[in-house]
């Protein structure tokens, strides 16, 4: 396979997550209208326990996106001291509600609540976050009815939109989290890429990443991936979102990815920016999963 997995591309070009997400959301809106014509309005319920500022903003954006797509978007806010039993009882109620097609409990919950117990309680067919073990298994074996976690699912759409040949490519996933790294690996394997997963115990990490035609950085370390870690012509997708101090900024900080963007863009053929790359895709894919859950529930 040639070093450059994008034919005819010499200089790095941005993979615009904002534009791609807009296309996904437009397609979702059309699907919503088609389902409404059949008597079903897709509905997503987000449960927020506590008042974490970042989670509150994120949940608000999800509700807004649902409404813009013509879906039913509901947010249930619970006090931070809500007992786990009460939260699980609420999930049971939502599982039984035929107007709710997707359920998402914003993570992380307060420390007294076991996140795994919450994930297991959500019905797999309404787990549009893709974290239930049933969906994890379905994604690993390539079962089409499964829901993939929204961020790695969004990365796959970005690669497709960028014209990247995944089949036969050497892909390196930097990070092995259950939220991004592991499901990202399964999606790439099922797309017929040859996949290497790197983590903190990987020996000679730079040598491994330099072998990647497609490099997915999801390690959670600001600007960790340097230019000398990237093969010329590789496609680089930056999943990281990190806050770093920057006195020159009004807020006193700036947001950067896991990739040293300014240097790596001169080596890669295509690269996603932070912000404006993977981030917008996450909510778009959440909407897409919810619409698919509604459609599957009609069968």
CATH of the domain at 68: 3.40.50.10860
Q: Name the helix (H) or strand (E) containing 291.
A: helix 279-297
- In this structure, the answer to whether residues 170 and 270 fall within a common structural domain is yes
Q: Which residues are catalytic?
A: 62, 106, 129
Same domain for 251 and 201, yes or no, is yes
Residue at 103 is within a domain: yes
Shared domain check, 102 and 49? yes
Contact 281/151 with Cβ under 8 angstroms?
yes
Query: Could you tell me if residue 265 is inside a domain?
Result: yes
Q: Is residue 225 part of a domain?
A: yes
- Per the structure, the count of domains in the chain is 2
Please, what is the angle between helix 279-297 and helix 17-37, to 10°?
20
Domain that holds residue 246: 149-280
Same domain membership, residue 276 and residue 155 = yes
CB atoms within 10 A of CB 18: 14
Give the pLDDT of residue 93.
98
Residue 2 maps to a domain: no
Residue 212 scores a pLDDT above 70: yes
* Closest C-alpha among 148, 190, 133, 150 to residue 167: 190
- Provide, rounded to the nearest whole percent, the portion of the chain with pLDDT above 70: 96
Q: Which of 161, 209, 205, 170 is nearest to 14 (CA)?
A: 161
Q: Is the pLDDT of residue 221 over 80?
A: yes
Same domain, 160 and 74: no
Assess whether 115 and 205 both reside in one domain: no
Residue 275: cis peptide before it, omega within 30 degrees of 0: yes
Residue 288 has pLDDT above 60, yes or no: yes
pTM over 0.85? The answer is yes
DSSP structural state of residue 228: G
Q: What share of the chain has pLDDT > 90, as a percent? A: 88
Average pLDDT over residues 210-221: 97
Task: Give the chain's count of helices (H) and strands (E).
Answer: 10, 11
pLDDT of residue 4: 41
Banded model confidence at residue 188, pLDDT cuts 50, 70, 90: very high
Is 180 in the same domain as 269? yes
- Look at strands 13-14 and 43-49 and give their pairing: unpaired
Task: Note whether residue 49 is domain-resident.
Answer: yes
Query: String of b and e for 249-286 (b: at least 16 CB within 10 Å)?
Result: eeeeeebbbbbbbebbbebbbbbbbbebbbbbbbbbbb
d(CA 81, CA 238): 36
Residues 155 and 108 in one domain: no
């Amino acid at each position: 396979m040639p070093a450059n997995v994008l034919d005819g591309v010499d200089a790095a070009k941005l993979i615009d997550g904002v534009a791609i997400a807009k296309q996904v959301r437009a397609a979702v809106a059309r699907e919503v209208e088609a389902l409404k014509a059949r008597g079903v309005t897709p509905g997503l319920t987000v449960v927020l326990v506590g008042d974490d500022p970042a989670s509150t903003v994120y949940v608000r954006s999800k509700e807004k996106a649902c409404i813009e797509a013509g879906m039913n978007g509901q947010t249930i806010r619970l006090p931070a001291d809500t007992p786990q039993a009460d939260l699980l009882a609420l999930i049971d109620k939502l599982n039984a509600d035929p107007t709710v097609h997707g359920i998402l409990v914003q993570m992380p919950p307060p420390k007294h609540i076991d996140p795994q117990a919450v994930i297991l309680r959500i019905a797999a067919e309404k787990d549009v976050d893709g974290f239930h073990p049933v969906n994890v298994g379905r994604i690993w074996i390539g079962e089409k009815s499964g829901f993939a976690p929204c961020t790695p699912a969004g990365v796959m759409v970005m690669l497709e939109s960028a014209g990247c040949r995944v089949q036969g490519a050497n892909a390196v996933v930097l990070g092995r989290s259950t939220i991004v790294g592991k499901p990202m690996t399964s999606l790439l394997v099922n797309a017929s890429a040859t996949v290497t997963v790197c983590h903190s115990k990987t020996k000679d990490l730079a040598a491994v990443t330099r072998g990647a035609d497609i490099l997915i950085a999801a390690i959670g370390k600001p600007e960790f991936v340097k230019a000398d870690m990237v093969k010329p012509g590789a496609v680089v997708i930056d999943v990281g979102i990190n806050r770093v101090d920057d006195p020159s900024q009004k807020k006193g900080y700036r947001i950067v990815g896991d990739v040293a963007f300014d240097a790596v863009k001169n080596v890669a053929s295509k690269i996603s920016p932070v912000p404006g790359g993977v981030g917008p895709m996450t909510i778009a894919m959440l909407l897409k999963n919810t619409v698919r859950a509604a459609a599957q529930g009609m069968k």
